[in-house]
């Protein structure tokens, strides 16, 4: 099984390593043709403005939307969640708009740029959440379902075969979130 990791910018290497631990073949996606054989895609953390700009420049937005409409699961971590959101609060920046969430960038404030917190994920259980300049998911609509919260704010949301988390499971040794995501692949 081949799973793509968008490799334009950000922490894609950690997802690549995580996929290897899950016994799947990671494919670094930089150009539309790199998506040809993948059965799922991970959009990593990084700088969402840069990732979106490059996505559009390389016309990866079109192919990702098309592959998703044909059933390809997508998981976005942190900046990846922003890239997938329908709306960025206070910004007109385009996104892939595939998930019915509204996100606010860098919303935990400067004093607490990074922190760790134990969270409880539906169907997975307790999980160490690593948050780095994380966005806050302010609202969800339609079929977007909150599956983990921290202080009453959504930190993980699922909508059909799209999953987002505002934390970084790829920075832990715990493969459960990635395995959960991979279970969305229908073969």
Window 77 to 96, contacts with ligand GLN (CB under 6 A):
78-79, 82
Single out the residue of 64, 72, 98, 132 in contact with ligand GLN (rule: CB under 6 A). Answer: 132
Window 145 to 164, contacts with ligand GLN (CB under 6 A):
none
Distance CA 41, CA 4 (A): 5
Q: Which of 15, 39, 68, 78 is catalytic?
A: 78
In the annotation, is 168 catalytic?
A: yes
**Is residue 106 part of the contact set for ligand GLN (CB under 6 A)?**
yes
Q: Which of 15, 68, 168, 178 is catalytic?
A: 168
Single out the residue of 15, 68, 86, 133 in contact with ligand GLN (rule: CB under 6 A). Answer: 133
**Is residue 105 part of the contact set for ligand GLN (CB under 6 A)?**
yes
How many alpha carbons fall within 13 Å on the CB side of residue 163?
25
Nearer to ligand GLN, 39 or 51 (CB): 51
- With 0-12 CB in 10 A as exposed, 13-18 as middle and 19+ as buried, what is 40? buried
In the annotation, is 78 catalytic?
A: yes
Distances (CA, A) of 64 to 33, 54, 98, 163: 11, 13, 10, 15
Single out the residue of 48, 95, 159, 165 in contact with ligand GLN (rule: CB under 6 A). Answer: 48
136 CB-near residues (< 8 Å, 6+ apart): 103, 104, 107, 108, 153, 166
Catalytic residues: 78, 168, 170
């Amino acid at each position: 099984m081949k799973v793509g990791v968008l490799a334009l910018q950000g922490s894609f290497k950690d997802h690549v390593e995580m996929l290897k631990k899950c016994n799947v073949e990671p494919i670094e996606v930089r150009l539309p043709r790199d998506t040809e054989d993948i059965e799922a895609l991970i959009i990593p953390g990084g700088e969402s403005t840069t990732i979106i700009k490059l996505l559009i420049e390389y016309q990866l937005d079109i192919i990702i939307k098309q592959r998703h409409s044909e059933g390809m699961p997508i998981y976005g971590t942190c900046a990846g969640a922003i890239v997938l959101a329908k709306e960025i609060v206070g910004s007109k920046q385009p996104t892939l708009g595939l998930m019915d969430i509204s996100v606010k960038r860098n919303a935990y404030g400067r004093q607490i740029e990074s922190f760790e917190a134990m969270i409880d994920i539906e169907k997975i259980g307790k999980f160490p959440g690593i948050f780095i300049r994380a966005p806050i998911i302010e609202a969800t609509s339609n079929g977007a379902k909150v599956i983990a919260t921290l202080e009453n704010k959504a930190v993980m949301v699922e909508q059909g075969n799209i999953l987002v988390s505002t934390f970084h499971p790829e920075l832990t040794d715990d493969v459960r979130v990635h395995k959960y995501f991979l279970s969305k692949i229908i073969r």
